[in-house]
Amino acid sequence: MLINPNLTRCLYKKVSKIYDCVPFDSLAPLFIQMLLNNRYRIIRTLGSGGFGKTFLAEDTQMPSIRPCVIKQLRPIKDNTQVYQLVQQRFAREAAILEELGDGSPQIPRLYAYFSEHGQFYLVQEYIEGKTLTQILQEVGLMDENSVKGILIGICQFLNMYTLKVLFIETSNQKIF
């Protein structure tokens, strides 16, 4: 299904939740005109960094059209050896995320991983919530007990998985 990139409208509903309206012309044309893996429709960009981007998407092949998060890794294509190494590590990370996500309510479940057009994608459960930055903007400075509670929760979580995890991405945006 092709979407006219000049339209701006709200298309995405799930139960009583309505996702943000997205000006389609603000998304990359590649994502507007196709479904990733013939299944996932990009709704909006959640973030980006040096290695890739993260998107909020919807799974068009589920009855609920469930929301999900797609992490896109943009490997260096010029170097064949580096590309193959990234491909191997990507498969290993997907296997670890599958195991951890199935074993903990604090880690989003892995729904899929695939490569398309020379880029790698992880599809994970979308967990609605606020970032630490958003909470701090709402409440201002936190008292000592609140900060301790957050840190203890993070430390307990990390302690449970330190032996299994080779790489963990932690930032104030991903704590809650």
Residue 1 lies in a domain: no
Residue 151 has pLDDT above 80, yes or no: yes
Give the pLDDT confidence score for residue 66 in this predicted structure. 95
Would 104 be classed as within a structural domain?
Answer: yes
Q: Is the pLDDT of residue 18 over 80?
A: no
Write out pLDDT tens, residues 22-69: 444 444 554 445 799 999 999 999 988 877 899 999 999 999 999 999
Model's pTM, two decimal places? 0.67
Predicted local confidence at residue 25, as pLDDT: 43
Range of 111's domain?
8-128
Total tally of structural domains belonging to the chain: 2
Structural domain contains residue 35: yes
Confidence at 174, pLDDT banded by 50, 70, 90:
low
Residue 63 to residues 59, 66, 137, 140, Cα–Cα distance (Å): 9, 8, 36, 40
Q: Does residue 99 share a domain with residue 17? A: yes
Same domain, 85 and 15: yes
Q: Does 143 map to a domain?
A: yes
Question: Which one has a higher pLDDT value, 7 or 161?
Answer: 161
Shared domain for 81 and 116, answered yes or no, is yes
Q: What is the DSSP string of 77-131?
A: SS-HHHHHHHHHHHHHHHHHHHHHHHH-TTSPPEEEEEEETTEEEEEEE------
102/153 same-domain check: no
Q: Are 85 and 165 members of one domain? A: no
Give the CATH number, domain containing residue 115: 3.30.200.20
Residue that is last in its domain, among 112, 128, 144: 128
Same domain as 104, residue 42: yes
| Higher-scoring residue by pLDDT: 109, 33 | 109
User: Which DSSP symbol is given to 20?
Assistant: P
pLDDT for the residue numbered 39: 95
